[in-house]
């Protein structure tokens, strides 16, 4: 086994045009509580993880760029309906992954990808 300093995911940061709207939408969609607010950065705590919102800029624009965080859900179809009602659209899937888990990628109202993965039954 490799000796690594990595402990666990601490924070997921989304780059968005409007950090206040993004924070409010995520609070409504994910639940949780506001953690930090400033003119240049907001964060909430949901599902045991900090979710941060940083203004998009020249270096990091909003939208799908490769990395996707996958959130564990009990029932993927119910979760998909919830996020569609909150303004998301389906981007990829839903499919059965190579290890037979149901996964889907959605695009939030700010252009970022949100992954959902169903708990193994």
| pLDDT greater than 70 at residue 6 | no
Assess whether 55 and 73 both reside in one domain.
no
Domain count within the chain: 2
Do 88 and 120 reside in the same domain of the chain? yes
Q: Are residues 105 and 67 in the same domain?
A: yes
Q: Which structural domain, as residue segments, surrounds residue 104?
A: 63-121
pTM of the model: 0.82
Q: Is residue 12 part of a domain?
A: yes
Residue 38, φ and ψ in degrees, nearest 5: -150, 180
Task: Please tell me which residue, 120 or 94, carries the higher pLDDT value.
Answer: 94
Asked if residue 30 and residue 71 are part of one domain, the reply reads no
Specify if 73 maps to a domain: yes
97 is a domain residue: yes
* C-alpha separations of 79 from 17, 37, 83, 108 in Å: 25, 28, 6, 13
Q: Can you give the pLDDT at residue 44?
A: 97
Say which residues have a Cβ less than 8 Å from residue 104's Cβ, sequence separation at least 6: 76, 80, 90, 92, 93, 94, 95, 115, 116
What average pLDDT does this structure show over 90-111?
90
Lowest mean pLDDT among 6-10, 22-26, 53-57: 6-10
Per-residue pLDDT of 9-43, as tens digits, reads 789 999 999 999 999 999 999 999 999 999 999 99
Name the percent of the chain lying above pLDDT 70: 95
Tokens 């990595």 locate to 6
Same domain for 82 and 120:
yes
């Amino acid at each position: 086994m490799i000796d690594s300093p990595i402990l666990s995911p601490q924070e997921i940061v989304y780059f968005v045009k409007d950090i206040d709207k993004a924070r409010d939408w995520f609070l409504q969609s994910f639940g949780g509580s506001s953690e930090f607010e400033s003119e240049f950065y907001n964060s909430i705590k949901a599902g045991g993880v900090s979710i941060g919102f940083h203004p998009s800029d020249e270096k990091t624009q909003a939208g799908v760029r490769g990395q996707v965080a996958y959130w564990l859900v009990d029932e993927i179809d119910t979760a998909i309906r919830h996020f569609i009602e909150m303004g998301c659209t389906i981007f990829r899937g839903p499919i059965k992954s190579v290890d037979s888990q149901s996964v889907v990628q959605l695009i939030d109202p700010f252009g970022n990808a949100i992954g959902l993965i169903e708990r193994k039954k």
